[in-house]
Structure 1
């Protein structure tokens, strides 16, 4: 049986763009530090999930107002559940309310205590907003935390935010361009 370190080494060999120690496929709860994600009364949880599903369906149909209403109802029902805040943040972004979306994302991350699916999705979403705001250091921190929670998308974003990787990609692109067009390379200084 492989140890956690063995899995991390193999991960770094087969997934070189992922941070060392970030083992994909190890579910939340595989270690003792990860608590139960949904410690709510089953009946209330089912109602909140149903409201969220209705909200997602409304958003997909283009009815952002109805989506916001459903997500807000789910939040009123279970105000300590991170998922509805994450979903409402997406709807707020669609409406153009970025400050409201950031408030909901901060709440979802706080409620999720940096663990679980809702926290991971909230970190990625907040990282994307921060990238759009040219707050790359903050975005990098969010993506790093989401990557530790298992987000492959966040790992790719970290690579894109790495200034050394960007410089290497630029230099590689220039070299490949010169190899493809040697005549152009000879004419340039």
Structure 2
């Protein structure tokens, strides 16, 4: 089994036309930083812990495919601390998975406004908004959001910028063709 980065590269090679946000585990790099956010001095500790617990329950429910419970937990976290961007990012992801792109974009706009375009929440918001733009065929908008997320330190956004490069996409397609031919040798060779 390869690393998450290896799986992302393989996904891009073998499926160059797919949206790149659906490789399981790609956001783990960003999630590893979750405990290092400067929120501890901004929000009351008890409410912050409760909000994080609700978000974790929402993420667990979403991973299990229970999007209605996930949306409920994220909504509870938002009601508890409406000025905290993280729950809006998570709810946006659940809304996107449910097919509610408009709702997802509304949540991402709120998350980006609350974060002031800085920190982990902004990085995550820009990545998600960039992925939605890619799904809608708005590559220029996606590129802008991935550039912002990359400046905030997202390795995933940097990979997306490479993939949005038309020369890289052509190279990936050519490599996929070569790999496909290696797996399916022509008759008579």
TM (norm. structure 2) is 0.69
Q: Distance in 2 between matches of 1:52 and 1:153?
A: 22
Q: Number of residue pairs matched?
A: 144
Cα distance between partner residues in 2 of 1:170 and 1:46: 44
Root mean square deviation, CA, Å: 2.6
Aligned pairs for 1:143-182 within 5 A: 143-166=146-169, 169=171
Query: Which of residues 124, 133, 136 is equivalent to 2:139?
Result: 136
Give the aligned partner of residue 90 of structure 2: 87
Partner of 1:123: 126
Residue deviations 1:104-125, cap 9 Å, x none?
0111111111111121111111
Q: Hey, what's the Cα distance between the residues in 2 that align with 1:165 and 1:54? A: 39
1:62 aligns with 2:65: yes
- Preserved CA contact (<8 Å) 1:37 1:116: no
Q: Which residue in 1 is equivalent to 2:18?
A: none
CA distance in 2 between partners of 1:106 and 1:37 (Å): 19
- Structure 1 segments of 4 or more deviating over 4 A? 170-173
String of CA shifts for 1:106-160, please: whole Å, max 9, x gaps. 1111111111112111111110110010111110010001111111110011111
Structure 2 stretches lacking a partner, 5+ long: 1-32, 183-189
Q: Secondary structure at the match of 2:65?
A: coil
Stretches of structure 1 lacking an aligned partner (at least 5 in a row): 1-27, 29-34, 181-189
Which structure has the larger Rg? 1
Query: Residues of 2 paired with 1:137 and 1:114: CA distance?
Result: 19
What residue is the counterpart of 1:76 in the other structure? 79
Query: Are 2:101 and 1:103 aligned?
Result: no
For residue 166 of structure 1, report the CA deviation from its aligned partner: 3.7
